[in-house]
């Protein structure tokens, strides 16, 4: 789905958008896809589609399918978002597009103010 349009809309992508920011966007999508697959596996395959067979297995006192559907999947969802945010921090650094922290932005403004 990502940028199937690059061929046709090359005018903009070609002229104004550097290869570097196109590389950044690709890296961005590469971070997401595996996380979305894990999301689907826990949220739909384990918690719903395979719930009946998994319920035969006992996990810390729960039937496993029931545990996935009412506890496990939620815990995995939380973890996925933090993993995503962490990985994107690394991608942002790598492509040098990371943002300033609010504190350092404030210092910069103060410095500018001091000079003026």
Partner 1 sequence: MTSIEAWALVFTVLTFSLYIFIAFRTRVKDTEGFYVAGHGVPAVANGAAIAADWMSAASFISMAGLISFLGFDGAIYLLGWTGGYVLLALLLAPYLRKFGKYTVPDFVGDRYSETARAVAVVAAVFVSFTYVAGQMAGVGIVFSRFIGVSITVGVIIGMCVVVIYAVMGGMKGITWTQVAQYTVLIIAYMIPAWAIAARLTDVPVPQVSFGEIATKLDQLQVDFGLNSYTEPFTNRPIQDVFFVALALMVGTAGLPHIIVRFYTTPSVRAARYSAGWALLFIALLYTTAPAVAVFAKTNLLEDVANQPWSERPQWVRNWEATGLMAFEDGNGNGTVDSITSNPEAAPGELVVSPDIMVLANPEIAGLPAPVVGLVAAGGLAAALSTASGLLLVIGSSIGHDLYYKRFRPEATEKQRLMAGRIAIAGAVLVAGYFGVNPPGFVGQVVAFAFGLAAASFFPIIVLGIFWKRTNAAGAMSGMLTGLTLTALYMWATLYGGMEPWFGISPEGIGAIGSVINFAVTIVVSNMTTPPSDEIQLLIEEVRHPRLGGEAIRLPEERVSEKA
Rg (C-alpha) for the chain, rounded Å, is 22
Binding flag, residue 81, partner 1 (CB under 8 A): yes
**How far is the C-alpha of 55 from the C-alpha of 77, rounded, in Å?**
21
Binding flag, residue 65, partner 1 (CB under 8 A): yes
Dihedral in degrees, nearest 10, Cα atoms 98, 101, 104, 109? 90
In this chain, which of 30, 37, 78, 114 binds partner 1, going by CB under 8 A? Answer: 78
Dihedral in degrees, nearest 10, Cα atoms 66, 71, 73, 74? 150
In this chain, which of 23, 37, 94, 97 binds partner 1, going by CB under 8 A? Answer: 97
In this chain, which of 19, 27, 49, 57 binds partner 1, going by CB under 8 A? Answer: 49
Q: Is the C-alpha dihedral spanning 26, 32, 38, 41 positive or negative?
A: negative
Chain residues in the site for partner 1 (CB under 8 A): 1-6, 8-9, 11-13, 16-17, 21, 24-25, 28, 32, 35-36, 39, 43-44, 47-49, 51-52, 55, 59-63, 65-67, 69-71, 73-75, 77-78, 80-82, 84-85, 88-89, 92, 97-100, 102, 105-106, 109, 113
């Amino acid at each position: 789905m990502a940028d199937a349009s690059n061929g046709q809309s090359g005018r903009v992508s070609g002229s104004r958008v550097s290869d570097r920011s196109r590389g950044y966007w690709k890296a961005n999508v590469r971070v997401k896809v595996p996380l979305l697959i894990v999301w689907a596996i826990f949220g739909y395959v384990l918690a719903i589609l395979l719930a009946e067979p998994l319920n035969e297995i006992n996990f810390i006192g729960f039937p496993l399918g029931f545990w996935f559907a009412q506890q496990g999947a939620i815990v995995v969802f939380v973890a996925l978002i933090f993993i995503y945010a962490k990985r994107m921090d690394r991608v942002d650094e790598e492509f040098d597009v990371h943002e300033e922290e609010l504190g350092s932005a404030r210092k910069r403004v103060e410095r500018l103010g001091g000079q003026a």
